[in-house]
A and B are shown apart, each in its own frame.
Chain A
Amino acid sequence: MTVMINRSCIGCGACVQTCPEGALSLGPEGNAVVDPSKCTDCGKCVSVCPVAAMSLPPNAVQLEQPSEQVLEISEPVVVVETEQSGDKVWVFVEQTQTVIAPVTLELIGEATRLAKKLNTQVGVVLLGDQVEFLAQPLFEQGADKVYLIDHGVFNQYRTEAYFQAVCYLVRKYFPEILLMGATTMGRDLAGAVATDLGTGLTADCTQLDIDLDKKILLASRPAFGGNIMATILCERHRPQMASVRPKVMKALDPMVGRNGMLIREFIDIPESSIPKQILRVVHDQLDQINLAEAKIIVSGGRGIKDAAGFQLLQDLADVVGGVVGGSRGAVESGCIEAKRQVGQTGQTVGPTIYFAVGISGAIQHIVGMMHSETIVAINTNPDCEMMKMANYSMVGDAYAVIPKLIDAFRAALASRQTNDSGAVCSIVQEAF
């Protein structure tokens, strides 16, 4: 008897590493193959397979299905310093024309949480041209040390200059963990840095944690369009690198006046050694709507069938001070532009309120908005996935519901304003 492997196998190797008998390996076609003479039908591989490609013969004893499918790594444990000290969790500071990207602050918040578990502190790498003044806000957001390299060559982001500087600092100070935002800049840089340092990099993480026994980073990321999550380790190499999606981690509230240590470093990268030059940056007016930073988003799906429907959503957005987004369904039906699409192949958002109107809740949409603070679903179908996601759900026809909502919000906001100004008046009067 041996375990059976069907065509769904993707060659991820999870089973190979979990097999206690060494019976599994990856074959010439990249898929898992089993050595029948070694397989004992223990079923461990069946439970770790992400694509259910493995099954036991019908009469084999079935293991109890664990709720979370954990796979023990059979390799010997790595030597990691158990005495943690200094600042071993690092964050790369993404700044453009001296404006720090929000994801950096989110990552410092997350790094602070990880650093506590490792009994260490948070260091950040700040590269730029005349950016020393950014150190103070970084301390106030939770950085304990700021490694600054201030140099004209860093005025605009270019991989070839930035990766050298990051690698230089890593080789000098040995962080255990290095995090970057999974943004255009972060993903571009992270791949170059990891390759140069010869270390592992987990892409696009949405969850980070520490294995307290081994003191290693557990980096989890959605895979296969968000249908499954994979936890990925980098056991034998340092630093353990991860790029992290924006809007997933939480920034700390700034601690005004908090201080840290500023370490000024120097590296000489001659401009002539950089094989590229940014001739100009074109600000595309059309791209100005910034869904990722919006506090309120009113999103429509295929359930909103025409321009009139989207005008209602725009009216609601105007009343509550939000912007309009949508699902791929809405993009495909031609109701909104592709750049307003939320989801796996669109933008990742994290507003205070996300209205999902006529959106069914396909996983590819969900992964783009699941970190919204409050989700409101409005849909004719009481059983759709979006209803399960929502904090508040309303069953109803959007064309009937939205006008009522617009009226109700308008009335409530108007009365709040008169109350507010009333309050101001009374204070003013008291002052007299």
Chain B
Amino acid sequence: MHIVVCIKQVPDAAQVKIDPKTNTLDRSSAPAILNPYDAHAVQEAVNIKRLYGGRVTVLTMGPPQAKDIIRKSLELGADAGILLSDRAFAGSDTWATSYILSQGLSELRAREPIDLILCGKQAIDGDTAQVGPGIARRLNIGQLTYIQKVESVDFVERSIIVHRRVDQGYEVIQAKLPCVVTVEKEINELQYSSLPEMMRAAQYQPLVWGVNDIHAEVNNMGLNGSPTTVRKIFSPPERTGGERLTGSIDDMANQLVNVLLEKIS
């Protein structure tokens, strides 16, 4: 059984600082981390492997430094990792990113069939949640998004049962394998890595594939191959504040009640 997890390197949002004068972000101080949702996806793959057997490969598209998150995934228990890295990939939007990843997945599949693909619900920087569905469409397989629990996997009957979050509760869905599953953080608790895993991870050198290795068409990627373009970046409008109520607490309470009462049915 072969499970592939797509992982992305992102800046640690908790540590991004904002320059209050220019309203821009200073990301130089923020370390690059494994996208938190993807960490749970790796953990889930490892949990499935421990229950049912198999192998876990992680796949990321990014700059050479993205090897770090492959090593982090190995610490969590993944078996192998592949980095898709090429300057032609830079500047890809989600349509192009899902193209590159699905080319990588096809190449991987040619070497070792894939039973299940896991992704995070979304990346905390781009925040679109579009890459998972994009991969599913390109590989023409089913997609299961917002998954909060994997109930069971049947690699013989080739099906999976999951809980999918919806507004008022959750759906219990049975789907055919292979399919793409995108996970919520509640799906599992991250486990501490064992010493041998940490040592193996520290030494690990992932395979690196470029455009030619995945037989990709350069016109479908990068800034020029992406259907969307960023036209403009601006700061959200500054707020100046409304009416400051004054007087004693009783006065203020009464003023507020006077202005709000008509809005309360």
Contact = CB atoms under 8 A, between A and B. Distances in A.
A192 B228 contact: no
Contacts of A71: 230-233
Given A230-B230, A391-B242, A405-B256, A203 B172 contact: no
B98 A195 contact: yes
A401 interface: yes
Given A392-B242, A400-B249, A374 B24 contact: no
Interface string A111-145: 00000000000000000000000000000000000
B65 interface: yes
Interface residues of B, number: 95
A96 B18 CA distance: 41
B14 to A, nearest CB: 10
A13 B241 contact: no
A284 B91 contact: no
Interface in B42-78: 62-65
29 contacts: A26-B90, A26-B91, A30-B62, A50-B24, A69-B232, A160-B143, A191-B128, A192-B134, A198-B227, A201-B95, A203-B127, A204-B127, A227-B25, A228-B234, A230-B230, A230-B232, A276-B144, A279-B172, A279-B174, A282-B171, A288-B168, A389-B241, A391-B243, A392-B243, A392-B245, A393-B241, A396-B249, A404-B252, A409-B257
Q: Is chain B's interface secondary structure helix, strand, loop, or mixed overall? A: mixed
A194 B254 CA distance: 53
A69 B222 CA distance: 23
A230 B24 CA distance: 12
Contact of A374 (B165, B250, B260): B260
B228 A48 contact: no
Q: Is chain A's interface secondary structure helix, strand, loop, or mixed overall? A: mixed
A39 B115 CA distance: 50
Contacts of A376: 256, 260
Given A159-B143, A276-B175, 5 more contacts: A28-B86, A203-B130, A204-B128, A321-B265, A405-B257
A198 B94 CA distance: 11
A202 B228 contact: yes
Interface of B: 11, 13, 16, 18-19, 22-28, 62-65, 85-87, 89-91, 93-95, 98, 125-134, 136-138, 141-146, 161, 163, 165-176, 179, 222-223, 226-236, 238-245, 249-250, 252-254, 256-261, 263-265
B257 A393 contact: no
Contact of A223 (B94, B127, B134, B249): B127
B62 A188 contact: no
B105 to A, nearest CB: 14
Interface of A: 6-8, 10-14, 16-17, 26-31, 48-52, 68-71, 73, 96, 156, 159-160, 163, 183-185, 187-188, 190-192, 194-196, 198-204, 218, 222-237, 275-284, 287-288, 290, 295-296, 320-321, 352-353, 363, 373-376, 382, 387-396, 400-401, 404-405, 407-409, 412-413, 416
A13 B18 contact: no
Nearest to A375: B242
The 6 closest A-B CB pairs, nearest first, are A191-B133, A200-B227, A26-B90, A203-B128, A276-B175, A200-B228
* Residue among A6, A194, A237, A374 with the highest chain B CB neighbour number at 10 A: A194
B240 A388 contact: yes
B252 A231 contact: no
Given A29-B63, A283-B168, A48 B173 contact: no
Contacts of B24: 49-52, 227-228
